[in-house]
Every structure is written in C-alpha cells, then in structure tokens.
C-alpha cells in the first residue's frame, strides 16, 4: 500500500495510507488530509490512486502544488516524491517500497519490454482513461503499466530472479562514516603542503616518470602503482602490483618526494 | 590487417557482490579489432547461455567473414564500406541462434541478451548495440557516452517525461526495449565514428554504470590511463564497493596509432611482402 508521510520542518507528523481511490488534501475539515494552514487552499489537491499508481492533481489552489521543487498541475507520483504545500511536506512512498521497506525493486534483473506487452498495457490505460485522472495521466500510466505487465509476464516465463539463495544486497558503507584522509608533503619544493583526499581517486607523481593513484574505498585508503619503472615505497617497503592499504602516519615515497598519509578525525 | 600492435586491450568481468553467477560475457579479438560485450537475461543459467552464444557467434562468424572480405572493401551496389553490413549480418546470426535455442529448449525459454559490439578498421570505429550495455569514449580529457540505451528509462528521458536527476532514482531501470534473441528478428543500432590515437573506449554492462557515477568512471579511466589492466579491475572494484548488485563487465580499448586501411597498390605489395 502506497502512503504519504506528512512532515513540517523535518518533523514527521503522521503517515497516511492511500486506501481510497480519491484522497483529497486541503484546509477545510471535510478533506481526507486536512492541513490547517493559511497557505493551503480549502480544496487544494487530490491524489487519485488506481491499482499501484497514484496521480496528484492540483485543484486550482491559490498557492499551487510543488513536487520536488517544480510547480505541477498533474503529476504521476513516484517513490520518494516530495509534495510541498506551504511549510508542510508530503513524501510519497510507493507500493513496492512500502511493502519491501527497501529499495530492492530498482536493481531487478534486466528484462525486455516487448511491444506485445505495450499493447495490452495501452488497452488497460484506455480503460483507465475513463476513470478520474484523465487521459493525460493515462498515457503515462500506459508506460508504467507496460512495465508492470513486462514484469508479470516475465516472471511467468521464468525470467524473474530465480535465485532464492541470493543474499540481501550488501549495504555499501556510508561515505560519511569513514574518516577523511590527507597527505602532507615532507620533502621537495612544496614541503609542508597538505592535500585532503576527498575524491574517490587522487593521482600522484609525474606522468611518464612515476604515477600512483590513491583510492578512497569503504574499507579505507589504498595506494596503487600505475606507471613507471620504479614503484613507490610505503615506510621504506616497495609496494606490489596489487593495491596496498594505507594506515595512519604511513610515509610514502614517490618520484623522489616523501609524503605522510594521515587520517583526520 | 593485424591490429594487435595498434590497439591496447584490457577486460574484466565479475559476478558482483550479490548475484551468485555471472550472466555477462566479454570477448575480444584484437587482431581483427573486434570487441563484444553481452549482458544476458533469463531464468536459471539461461542468461549466461544467451550472452555466451552472442559473443561466441559474433566473434567466430566475424572472423570467418573477415577471412573472405575486408571491412573497408566497398560494396559494389551501395558504394559504401562493407563493415556495417558485415556486423549487421553477424548480429542477426547470433539473434537467430539464441532465438532458436530459446524456442527449442524449454529451460532456455525467454532468454536474451543486451549487446555492444565495436569493430575498429581504417581509422574508424563501428559500434553496434542493443539494450542498455554501453560504449563510452575518453578523448582529450573528455568522457562521454557514445551509445544511447534502448531502455524504457531512456525513452522517458527523451520524451521529457522525467529529468536526468529523476532518472537516477527511477524504478524500472532494468527494462530494455531491444535485446538479442527475444524475437525472430532484431534491428541493432549501428553507427560509425572516426577514431584517433589516444582514444580510450570503454564497453560496459549496466552493472558498472548503474552502480558508479559517470564522473567517477571518467576519473578512474583517466587516473589509470597508463595501465589499462589496472583501470579495468579498478572499475569493477568501484562497482563492488558501491554495492555490486549486478554483474560487472568492462572492456577497455586504447588506440595507440593511426590505422588507415592499406588500399593502394603499393600498400598491397607491402602487406603481401610482410
């Protein structure tokens, strides 16, 4: 079941499941979602839910309806869309995401969308066009329905993920949790200069002579030799062909220049 | 014409962090300047079968075809080089093989594969593709996508239904509108571009471009440009570090020198003397 999460200033006020075909939003008390704020019109907007798809329509409100920063008249709601009404925000959480609680859907196996699937979907959409939401929405819905169709027909044909032992996606380590590394030059003309390693890749050395790359990965920082007859050294030890992990206060020597790697807390 | 001294090649393929088997397939024939990457789909191991058939059929059939003619030979009827027709024919042969296997054996029903093929000849690169496997080009410090995906998402972007920003978070990223082996006939998209010394071409499956931002791919290709093998394994590693939810495959090809076709009489004599 798709739902809306109402919040103000980042504070979640309530969750509203979209159970009805028409969910009205406005300032007046008869609305399904009443938002008592002068910036919100009496009858501000409506969300029409057909099967798994929800469409947001502005009902000629004074201040308009904004989705993801753009003013809209009619909008096919997608997962994580944010609807802004004055100071209030409504976040739309789609059917699949609400059911699974994860973003598993967006990395399904590749599948083909076939013209035959498109056709049946268009028929579906035509039927849908008579429903409130209008023909405009139907065109968009045709595509989405075709996608749905492809997914169903694909699973029927044995195309869907048949791998029950598939592990849950390995959660990538959040970038922010990792301490920021930096290097400080210890010798050469720029001795004392510091360079923060914010990018996923930092190239060091002189092209054609000796080049190494410092990579930032969830596990930490690594140094890899890329080019040149001589390999860089870490704490006096020449590194191998494989990437070498860097520890706090390791001293790297590259193309005759010494530098220290350290982690910033 | 042997291109092994002119094209530097590196490739890598990896099942990723989540999937238990690899449905991608890569093949390279540097001597003929031919590179093929396929990302298979279908239940059980059918995806692997489809992508494996695609790369094998295209490489072997193309080798035979190139034994009979040369890609820069001019077609008597159309007065255009033969290369696009040759590639088109081999892609159709691969399509027929996969489609027939899928029809005749129930365990392969519905299998198919995306495809990107590059043929380097006469200072040019010919690109044929189907689905969402891509070709990128790094030239003069600029990195751009050469192919346009045949996918629902790309169609939505083209028709202005969604913006590029929305596309990143869209569902149905996985739906392709064209693929090899799904229908009895198929129309690959074929284009030709001039190739230059110093160009680095990247063929990749969606396991790379879905997991890693284009900007980061570009940075990695440029940082490791002196060492293509390292670049290939680093690209795979980046996809895996970001979650690696799909199979990841890359082929990197660098053009070292110009490779004009030997057309004149003298050139033929030299080629013969060699």
How many angstroms separate the CA atoms of A83 and B63, rounded? 57
What is the per-residue pLDDT across A207-219, written as a single tens digit (0 to 9) for each? 878 889 999 888 8
Cα separation, A50 vs A132, in Å, equals 9
Q: Give the minimum alpha-carbon distance from A160 to chain B in angstroms, rounded to a whole number.
A: 6
> Is A201 within 8 Å of B223 (Cβ atoms)?
yes
Flag if A158 and B109 touch (Cβ within 8 Å): yes
Q: SS3 helix, strand, coil % of chain A, rounded to 5?
A: 20, 40, 40
Q: Is the pLDDT of residue A102 over 70?
A: no
The answer to whether residue A157 scores a pLDDT higher than 50 is no
Annotate A183-226 with DSSP letters as a single string: EEE-SSTTTT-EEE--SSEEEEEETTTEEEEEEEETTEEEEEEE
A107 close to B (CB below 8 A): yes
pLDDT band at A104 (very low <50, low <70, confident <90, very high): very low
Return the percentage of chain A with pLDDT > 90, whole number. 15
Contacts of B238 in chain A (CB under 8 A): 200
For A14-48, the pLDDT digits (tens) are: 888 888 889 999 999 898 888 888 889 999 999 99
Condensed to tens digits (0 to 9), the pLDDT of residues A185-239 reads 998 888 888 988 988 888 888 887 888 999 988 888 999 998 888 889 999 898 8
In a 3-state reduction of DSSP, which class is residue B217? helix
Residue A181 pLDDT > 50, yes or no?
Answer: yes
Euclidean distance between CA atoms B193 and B204, whole angstroms: 18
- Given a cut of 60, whether residue A146 has pLDDT beyond it is no
Among chain A residues, the shortest Cα distance to B20 is held by: A166
* C-beta of residue A170 within 8 angstroms of C-beta of residue B16: no
For residues A103-113, average pLDDT: 57
> Sorting pLDDT into bands at 50, 70 and 90, what band is A163?
very low
Give chain B positions within 8 Å (CB) of A231: none
Q: Do B177 and A201 count as a contact with CB atoms less than 8 A apart?
A: no
Whether chain A has a CB inside 8 Å of the CB on B226: the answer is yes
- Largest Cα–Cα distance of chain B, in whole Å? 60
**Cβ contact (<8 Å) for A106 and B152?**
no
Q: Per DSSP, what are the bridge partners of residue A261?
A: A183, A250
- d(CA B57, CA B64) in angstroms, rounded, equals 11
Q: What is the pLDDT along chain B (274 residues), one digit of tens a residue?
A: 789 999 999 999 999 988 888 999 999 999 999 999 999 988 767 899 999 999 999 999 999 999 888 888 888 888 888 899 999 999 999 999 999 999 999 888 889 999 999 999 999 999 999 999 999 999 998 999 999 999 988 988 888 888 888 887 777 777 899 999 999 999 999 999 999 999 999 999 999 999 999 999 999 999 999 899 999 999 999 999 988 889 999 999 999 999 888 766 656 666 665 5
Question: 0.95 cut: is pTM over it?
Answer: no
The DSSP output letter for A249 is T
pLDDT, position A94: 78
The ipTM estimated for the assembled molecules is: 0.75
Judge whether residue A110 has pLDDT over 60. Answer: yes
Query: Does residue A170 surpass a pLDDT of 70?
Result: no
């Amino acid at each position: 079941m798709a739902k809306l999460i109402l919040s103000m200033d980042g504070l979640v006020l309530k969750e509203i499941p979209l159970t009805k075909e028409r969910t009205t939003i406005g300032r007046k008390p008869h609305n399904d979602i009443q938002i008592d704020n002068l910036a919100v019109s009496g009858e501000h907007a409506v969300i029409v839910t057909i099967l798994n798809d929800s469409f947001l329509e502005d009902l000629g409100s004074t201040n308009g309806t904004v989705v993801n920063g753009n003013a809209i008249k009619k909008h096919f709601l997608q997962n994580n869309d944010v609807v802004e009404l004055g100071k209030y925000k409504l976040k739309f959480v789609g059917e699949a995401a609400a059911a699974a609680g994860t973003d598993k859907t967006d990395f399904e196996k590749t599948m083909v969308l076939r013209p035959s699937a498109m056709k049946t979907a268009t028929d579906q959409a035509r039927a849908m066009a008579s429903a409130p939401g209008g023909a405009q929405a139907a065109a968009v819905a045709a595509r989405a329905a075709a996608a749905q169709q492809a997914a169903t027909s694909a699973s029927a044909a044995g195309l869907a993920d048949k791998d029950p032992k598939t592990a849950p996606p390995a959660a990538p380590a959040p970038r922010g949790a990792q301490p920021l590394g930096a290097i400080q030059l210890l010798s050469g003309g720029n001795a004392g200069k510091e360079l923060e390693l914010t990018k996923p890749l930092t190239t060091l050395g002189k092209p054609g002579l000796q080049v190494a790359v410092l990579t930032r990965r969830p596990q930490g920082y690594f140094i890899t030799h890329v080019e040149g007859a001589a390999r860089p050294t870490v704490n006096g030890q020449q590194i191998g062909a494989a990437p070498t992990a860097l520890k706090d206060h390791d001293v790297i020597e590259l193309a005759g220049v010494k530098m220290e790697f350290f982690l910033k807390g | 014409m042997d291109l092994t001294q002119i094209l530097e090649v590196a490739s890598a393929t990896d099942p990723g962090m989540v999937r238990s088997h690899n449905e991608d397939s890569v093949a390279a024939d540097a001597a003929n300047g031919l590179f093929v990457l396929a990302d298979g789909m279908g239940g059980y191991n059918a995806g692997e079968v489809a992508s494996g058939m695609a790369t094998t059929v295209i490489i072997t059939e193309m080798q035979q075809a190139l034994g009979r003619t040369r890609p820069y030979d001019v077609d008597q009827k159309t007065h255009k080089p033969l290369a696009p027709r040759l590639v088109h024919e081999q892609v159709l042969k691969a399509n027929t093989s996969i489609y027939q296997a899928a029809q005749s054996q129930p365990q392969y029903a519905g299998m198919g594969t995306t495809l990107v093929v590059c043929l380097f000849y006469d200072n040019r690169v010919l690109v044929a593709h189907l689905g969402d496997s891509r070709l990128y080009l790094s030239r003069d410090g600029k990195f751009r996508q050469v192919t346009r995906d045949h996918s629902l998402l790309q169609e939505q972007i083209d028709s202005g239904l969604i913006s590029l920003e929305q596309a990143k978070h869209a569902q149905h990223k996985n739906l392709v509108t064209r693929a090899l082996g799904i229908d009895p006939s198929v129309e690959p998209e074929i284009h030709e571009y001039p190739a230059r010394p110093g160009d680095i071409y990247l063929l990749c499956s969606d396991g790379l471009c879905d997991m890693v931002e284009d900007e980061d791919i570009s940075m990695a290709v440029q940082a490791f440009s002196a060492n293509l093998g390292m670049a290939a394994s680093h690209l795979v590693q980046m996809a895996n570090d970001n979650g690696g939810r799909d199979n990841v495959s890359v082929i990197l090809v660098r053009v070292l020198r110009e490779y004009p076709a030997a057309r004149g009489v003298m050139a033929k004599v030299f080629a013969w003397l060699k």
